[in-house]
Chain A
Amino acid sequence: MLTFIARRVLYTIPVMVASSFLCFVSVSYAGNPLAKLYASPILNPDIIPKIIHQNHLDVNIVERYFYWVQSLFTQKLGISLVTLQPLLPDFERTMGHTFQFVIIAETLAIILGVAVGIFSAIRQYSVFDYVFTSTSFVGFAMPTFWLALMLQLLFVYVWKWWHVRIFYTSGLNAVPGGPDWGLDRFQHLALPIITLLIISFAGYSRYMRASMLDVINSDYVRTARAKGVTERRVIMRHVFRNALIPITTFGALNVGALLGGAIITESIFQLDGMGQYFIIRLGNGDTYAVMAYLMITSVIIIAFNLIADITYGILDPRIRYE
């Protein structure tokens, strides 16, 4: 087991290096990090060569990559060439907000998705199954931005017609602190959470149903039934536990991708998370912020890939001896 984990961990190192190099090279070739500085009316043009030299923009791309990696660790993720500020404080703030709502939404989605997937599989072709299967089909075909906008529209009209504030449709807080802060934050986060919940739920329930059906129709389940195990025990011990294996992987990959920022959801609800930060900085042509963002999200995704691999190895011993 330990060698398996060690091998997987070691394998992530070249992947990390390759993906960071790819991000760096492509972003620095496609974008001009100095465009904003040249365009700035207040900056003294004489200072630009100094900035170029300070940020090692006058050396070749491979050297620049190493300087950049170094700055990630030593200079608080490097310095933005647009704001001339270190990037780390921004990421600390936005990451907290993103984690808050993504973790809540994904936890709910996994619990609901697994439960619904199990019942749909046990009662295949029942009304319950048809209702949720078609729901997940529609959820699968729905662009996130449209779902988010429809929810926003709904609550805008609720406010307009009845003057009832159930959920806020944008922003993160209306009151700065105090006893109402928690409720206020919840009213702001509710719609982003519901959006993400619906989209992820569609995936989880569909996936769980499929893997349940896979197991239910396997030989060892038939054997279990044949030797007289009660149906409840067959489902809970033999089917459910094995059907959970694929969905842990799927869940880990999904959560990993979202923790890097639900770009669309955040920018629609004006939620000050990593995704929105990325979009704003991208619009500003802030290449160093963009690269730092891509780097952080890649690290999160690779880390969750690793977690997915290792849990798979723990849950399914066959995989360890490939």
Chain B
Amino acid sequence: MSEPTASGGPIIAPVGAGSTEAEGLELKVRSQWSYARDRFLRHRMAIAGLVGLVVIFGAGALCNYIAAYPLGYVDLTNVEHGPTTFGHHFFGTDTTGADELTQVLYGIRTSLEVGVFVAVVSSVFGLLVGAFAGYYRGLIDNILMRITDLVLTLPALAILLAFSSLVGQRWPSLRGNLWVLSLILAGFFWTGIARIVRGVFLSLREKEYVEAAKASGAGDLRIMFRHILPNTLGPIVVNGTLAVGGAIITESALSFLGQGITTPNVSLGALVATAQSYPEAWWLTIFPGLTIVLIVLCVNFVGDGLRDALDPTQRRVRA
């Protein structure tokens, strides 16, 4: 398909008169994706979530440009000051005099990086595991799925804490490293995708078109990634989106407990943790936490919308 129409109105639809598709005689050829895009655009909460995400993540990605102060700058004339328009301290200042809004913006950038990294890495890994298990079945399937079950029965938060703490104790240079933490998180987020992809592969490998591909001499890898994989993209995108939210919450919890991301990187969870000792400065608890809630809420709305759009087989479960 070429460009979507500029107006953003009904992209598809009959070129002819009526308002319903049935009346149109000249129909534009539409792909599955354009139907999906339509379903997504009709989902009001998803659009609201998407707009929210673009604004919040956009602000986070551009934090070096839009933050009123450089990170680490302390305003010694306004230490522990409540939210005020004075000096652009919209979220107040913390107990050292650093601007809270600036720190929150940098925290959003961290959340964005962790969320996207974890979602991408865990989706790709889960996809590979699920594809091999579902396609080859038998022993490979058994081994891979038992490993998946095993990961699912581990006490996730405790293991994550133990890993990131012990890694930090053993290799102090890696302590609080954003990418190491993301990798550890990804090690726990792939199981859902693996199960879903396996399910799809198990049923699709019996389809006629796969047989046809095999008959025409396609190799296993080609069948798996060229013929079957595109049919699993819907669930993968949906779950990947929801994994962004899950990863952000988990990262903030780890950082809150002091075993996640540490300075020089700013994490929203770590910001809330420092606020814990200063109940009189309520704004230090409220704003970073509220930011996490908003991000995850938007991600979940988008995820729900994508589920309705891309994964019509899955019954629509609102909220």
Residue of chain B at shortest CB distance from A293: B158
CB distance from B140 to the nearest CB of A (A): 18
Let me know if B319 and A301 touch, CB within 8 A: no
Cα distance A318–B250 in the bound complex, in angstroms:
36
Q: State whether the Cβ of A278 lies closer than 8 Å to any Cβ in chain B.
A: yes
CB under 8 Å from chain A, chain B span 87-107:
none
Cα distance A226–B46 in the bound complex, in angstroms:
37
Let me know if A31 and B276 touch, CB within 8 A: no
Let me know if B150 and A143 touch, CB within 8 A: no
Q: State whether the Cβ of A15 lies closer than 8 Å to any Cβ in chain B.
A: yes
Q: State whether the Cβ of B121 lies closer than 8 Å to any Cβ in chain A.
A: no
Cα distance A147–B2 in the bound complex, in angstroms:
47
Kindly list chain B residues whose C-beta atoms are within 8 Å of the C-beta of A146: 272, 285, 289, 292-293
Kindly list chain A residues whose C-beta atoms are within 8 Å of the C-beta of B153: 15, 19, 298, 301-302, 305
Kindly list chain B residues whose C-beta atoms are within 8 Å of the C-beta of A263: 157-158, 161, 257
Q: When A142-B293, A143-B252, A144-B253 are in contact, do A32 and B162 touch as well, CB less than 8 Å?
A: no
Q: State whether the Cβ of A27 lies closer than 8 Å to any Cβ in chain B.
A: yes
Kindly list chain B residues whose C-beta atoms are within 8 Å of the C-beta of A30: 162-163, 166-167, 169-170
Let me know if A145 and B155 touch, CB within 8 A: no
Kindly list chain A residues whose C-beta atoms are within 8 Å of the C-beta of B318: 133
Q: State whether the Cβ of A138 lies closer than 8 Å to any Cβ in chain B.
A: yes
Q: When A141-B297, A145-B269, A149-B285 are in contact, do A257 and B155 touch as well, CB less than 8 Å?
A: yes
The proximity string for B residues 146-158 relative to A, scoring 1 for CB distances below 8 Å and 0 otherwise, is: 0001100111011
Let me know if A141 and B245 touch, CB within 8 A: yes
Cα distance A142–B294 in the bound complex, in angstroms:
9
Residue of chain A at shortest CB distance from B301: A137
Q: When A19-B153, A144-B253, A305-B153 are in contact, do A294 and B272 touch as well, CB less than 8 Å?
A: no
Kindly list chain B residues whose C-beta atoms are within 8 Å of the C-beta of A141: 245, 249, 293, 296-297, 300
Q: State whether the Cβ of B279 lies closer than 8 Å to any Cβ in chain A.
A: yes
Q: When A149-B276, A263-B161 are in contact, do A298 and B317 touch as well, CB less than 8 Å?
A: no
Let me know if A134 and B269 touch, CB within 8 A: no
Q: State whether the Cβ of B315 lies closer than 8 Å to any Cβ in chain A.
A: yes
Kindly list chain A residues whose C-beta atoms are within 8 Å of the C-beta of B165: 282-283
Kindly list chain A residues whose C-beta atoms are within 8 Å of the C-beta of B293: 138, 141-143, 146
The proximity string for B residues 273-290 relative to A, scoring 1 for CB distances below 8 Å and 0 otherwise, is: 101100100100110010
CB distance from A218 to the nearest CB of B (A): 11
Q: State whether the Cβ of A13 lies closer than 8 Å to any Cβ in chain B.
A: no
Q: State whether the Cβ of A279 lies closer than 8 Å to any Cβ in chain B.
A: yes
Q: State whether the Cβ of A164 lies closer than 8 Å to any Cβ in chain B.
A: no
Let me know if A143 and B162 touch, CB within 8 A: no
Q: State whether the Cβ of B40 lies closer than 8 Å to any Cβ in chain A.
A: no
CB distance from A298 to the nearest CB of B (A): 6
CB under 8 Å from chain A, chain B span 116-139:
none
Let me know if B279 and A152 touch, CB within 8 A: yes
Kindly list chain B residues whose C-beta atoms are within 8 Å of the C-beta of A305: 153
Kindly list chain B residues whose C-beta atoms are within 8 Å of the C-beta of A150: 285-286, 289
Kindly list chain A residues whose C-beta atoms are within 8 Å of the C-beta of B157: 263-264
Q: When A146-B292, A149-B276 are in contact, do A206 and B315 touch as well, CB less than 8 Å?
A: no
Kindly list chain A residues whose C-beta atoms are within 8 Å of the C-beta of B163: 26, 30
CB under 8 Å from chain B, chain A span 1-55:
15, 18-19, 22-23, 26-27, 30-32, 35
Cα distance A61–B283 in the bound complex, in angstroms:
50
29 CB-based A-B contacts, threshold 8 Å? A15-B149, A19-B154, A26-B163, A27-B166, A30-B163, A31-B169, A35-B169, A137-B297, A138-B297, A141-B293, A142-B296, A145-B256, A146-B272, A146-B285, A146-B289, A149-B272, A150-B285, A153-B282, A157-B279, A206-B319, A263-B161, A264-B157, A267-B257, A279-B257, A282-B161, A282-B162, A294-B162, A297-B158, A301-B155
